[in-house]
């Protein structure tokens, strides 16, 4: 184990007051964000409703998303009960932990510029805007990315016997957060194998075994429930109607577009610094080189997988774990080209992005689903009948509104009403065929349009009286 030099020790001790200041600032920011969410409206967005619906119970799997976020949310519900406050506290805690983990990672490389590097996460719109507005699993995913990178960097410089076990634990939890975590960890391991202090093969085997053990309940569940686990495969655009070549071209084009959308703002900031900043002959920190290589390796793997599988649709958020550390790495890389005064202005500019987002969030929520009156919607429905719906948006919000009726998800293999029970099918008209396949006898004459009002517009749903049959 390397001994810490007196100079490094003194620098870390002197940085302690600033560390507490920034930690307090991050916690305060997300406390305000939580308060804004509580004031935003009485109803839930899509991801929030999904979390509330599934987190009411513990299970090895629920839907196409891995279960870790739902498990954590279940634990918070056990303490505080199902509520918007419980949903917001968990998400804000995970979000704040991510920023603090990136801050700790950057302090290992350059303590003086670390706050600016951590705040540069605001250059990723998917991170600073969409994740604050309506994301759940992605918030947990980026936390696992930051924690895994932080642990690996620390273990390479100051190895301990427990490192392999901790890495396996983090990787297992990362897999249980979201499947695209695997692309990140593959890129990180490949990059780690290129440095002088690389992880030992035996350590990687131990880590892989621990990770497989932790992820195995969900993996086994997914094999037993392919319909639920693969329900979101349609998002990838795997149909071959474009032809073999056309499918690959579409996938490559969407990959490039999504990557550009993610990194455009960061590119606009760092390109002038790279070309106009002061020249520096100093070599990049070894940890910094590893992070850059990890991002490049992960993106290469993701692009190759896109072409090989025939995926034609690529969303920006799917690539977020692969580029999460790119803006912090770029900040650290170009810090030597900045004067101290300009570096301070850069920190203030990055902080300004977060403040602007915080101010804009209430306006973004003004016409969202959060203002829908699901209690009034429930009152429109005939009383005494349970509701069956394929949409967790409906089920989660009705559960939050305290609907006294039974609520059931229109999914194969899920709990369903007893045979012969009269129910209300609350869904879009296009889902009536799916209900028929699951044994619901649809009487076309009983289909009645219902209105769910939110924001400035109206979205029609269909309430269909159906009879369960087996």
Which range among 27-31, 144-148, 165-169, 192-196 shows the weakest confidence by mean pLDDT?
192-196
The 10 Å CB-count burial string (b at 16+, else e) for 139-152 is: bbbbbbbbbbbbbb
DSSP 158: S
Which range among 220-224, 291-295, 459-463 shows the weakest confidence by mean pLDDT?
459-463
Distances in Å between the Cα of 287 and the Cα atoms of 16, 282, 290, 333 are 21, 14, 5, 11
What's the maximum distance between 2 C-alpha atoms anywhere in the chain?
82
Give the pTM.
Answer: 0.88
Report the C-alpha gap between 294 and 189 in whole angstroms: 8
Q: What is the pLDDT of residue 78?
A: 95
Question: Which of residues 418 and 155 earns the better pLDDT score?
Answer: 155
Strands 457-468 and 422-427, how do they pair? antiparallel
Q: How confident is the model at residue 8 (pLDDT cuts 50, 70, 90)?
A: very low
Residue 14 in this model has a pLDDT that exceeds 50: no
Round the average pLDDT of the chain to a whole number and report it: 84
The 10 Å CB-count burial string (b at 16+, else e) for 409-442 is: bbbeeeebbeeebebbbbbeeebbeebeebebeb
pLDDT digits (tens, 9 = 90+) for 91-114: 999 999 999 999 999 999 988 889
Report the C-alpha gap between 348 and 368 in whole angstroms: 31
Residue 375 in this model has a pLDDT that exceeds 90: no
Helix (H, G, I), strand (E, B) or coil at 446: strand
- The torsion angles phi and psi of 281, rounded to 5 degrees, stand at -100, 0
Report the C-alpha gap between 143 and 102 in whole angstroms: 9
Q: How confident is the model at residue 50 (pLDDT cuts 50, 70, 90)?
A: very high
Report the C-alpha gap between 362 and 122 in whole angstroms: 18
Output the six-digit token pair for 83.
Answer: 């509520």
Question: Which of residues 76 and 433 earns the better pLDDT score?
Answer: 76
Q: How confident is the model at residue 242 (pLDDT cuts 50, 70, 90)?
A: low
Q: Provide long-range contacts, Cβ within 8 A and 24+ apart, for 192-197.
A: 192/152, 192/156, 192/290, 192/294, 194/290, 194/293, 195/156, 195/286, 195/289, 195/290, 196/286, 197/156, 197/157
User: Going by C-beta distance under 8 Å and a sequence separation of 6 or more, which residues neighbour residue 186?
Assistant: 297, 298, 301
The 10 Å CB-count burial string (b at 16+, else e) for 215-240 is: beebeebbeebeebbebeeeebbeee
pLDDT digits (tens, 9 = 90+) for 308-358: 888 878 888 999 999 999 999 999 988 877 777 877 888 899 999 999 999
- The torsion angles phi and psi of 385, rounded to 5 degrees, stand at -110, 135
Q: How confident is the model at residue 136 (pLDDT cuts 50, 70, 90)?
A: very high
Report the C-alpha gap between 397 and 372 in whole angstroms: 9
One-character DSSP codes across 39-66 = HH-SS--HHHHHHHHHTTS--S--SSS-
Q: How confident is the model at residue 382 (pLDDT cuts 50, 70, 90)?
A: confident
- Residue identified by tokens 């929030």 is 48
One-character DSSP codes across 84-100 = HHHHHHHHHHHHHHHHH
């Amino acid at each position: 184990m390397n001994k810490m030099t007196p100079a490094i020790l003194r620098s870390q001790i002197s940085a302690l007051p600033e560390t507490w200041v920034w930690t307090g600032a991050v916690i305060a920011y997300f406390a305000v964000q939580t308060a804004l969410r509580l004031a935003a409206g009485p109803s839930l967005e899509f991801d929030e409703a999904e979390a509330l619906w599934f987190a009411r119970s513990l299970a090895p799997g629920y839907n196409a998303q891995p279960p870790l976020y739902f498990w954590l949310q279940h634990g918070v519900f056990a303490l505080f009960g199902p509520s918007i406050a419980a949903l917001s506290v968990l998400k804000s805690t995970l979000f704040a932990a991510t920023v603090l983990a990136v801050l700790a990672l950057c302090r290992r490389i350059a303590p003086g510029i670390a706050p600016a590097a951590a705040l540069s996460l605001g250059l990723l719109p998917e991170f600073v805007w969409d994740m604050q507005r309506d994301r759940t699993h992605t918030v947990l995913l980026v936390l696992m990315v930051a924690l895994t990178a932080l642990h690996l960097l620390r273990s390479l410089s100051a190895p301990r016997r427990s490192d392999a076990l901790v890495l396996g634990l983090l990787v297992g939890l990362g897999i249980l957060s979201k499947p695209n975590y695997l692309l990140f960890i593959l890129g990180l391991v490949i990059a780690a194998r290129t440095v002088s202090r690389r992880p030992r093969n035996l350590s990687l085997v131990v880590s892989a075994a621990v990770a497989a053990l932790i992820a195995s309940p969900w993996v086994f569940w997914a094999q037993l429930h392919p319909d639920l686990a693969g329900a979101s495969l349609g998002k990838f655009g795997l149909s071959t109607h474009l032809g073999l070549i056309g499918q690959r071209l579409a996938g490559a084009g969407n990959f490039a577009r999504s990557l550009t959308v993610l990194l455009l703002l960061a590119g606009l900031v760092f390109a002038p610094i790279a070309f106009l900043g002061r020249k520096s002959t100093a070599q990049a920190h070894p940890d910094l080189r590893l992070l850059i290589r990890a991002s490049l390796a992960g993106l290469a793997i993701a692009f190759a997988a896109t072409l090989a599988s025939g995926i034609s649709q690529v969303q920006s958020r799917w690539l977020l774990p692969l580029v999460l550390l790119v803006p912090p790495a770029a900040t650290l890389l170009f810090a030597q080209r900045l004067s101290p005064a300009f570096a301070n202005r850069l920190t203030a500019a990055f902080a300004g992005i977060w403040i602007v987002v915080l101010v804009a969030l209430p306006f973004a929520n003004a016409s969202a689903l959060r203002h829908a009156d699901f209690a009034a919607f429930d009152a429109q429905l005939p009383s005494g009948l349970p509701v069956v719906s394929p949409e967790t948006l409906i089920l989660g919000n009705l559960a939050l509104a305290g609907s006294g009726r039974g609520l059931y998800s229109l999914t194969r293999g899920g709990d369903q009403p007893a045979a012969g029970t009269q129910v209300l099918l609350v869904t879009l008209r296009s889902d009536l065929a799916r209900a028929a396949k699951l044994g619901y006898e649809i009487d076309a004459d009983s289909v009645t349009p219902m209105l769910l009002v939110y924001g400035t517009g109206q979205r029609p749903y269909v309430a269909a009286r159906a009879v369960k049959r087996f």
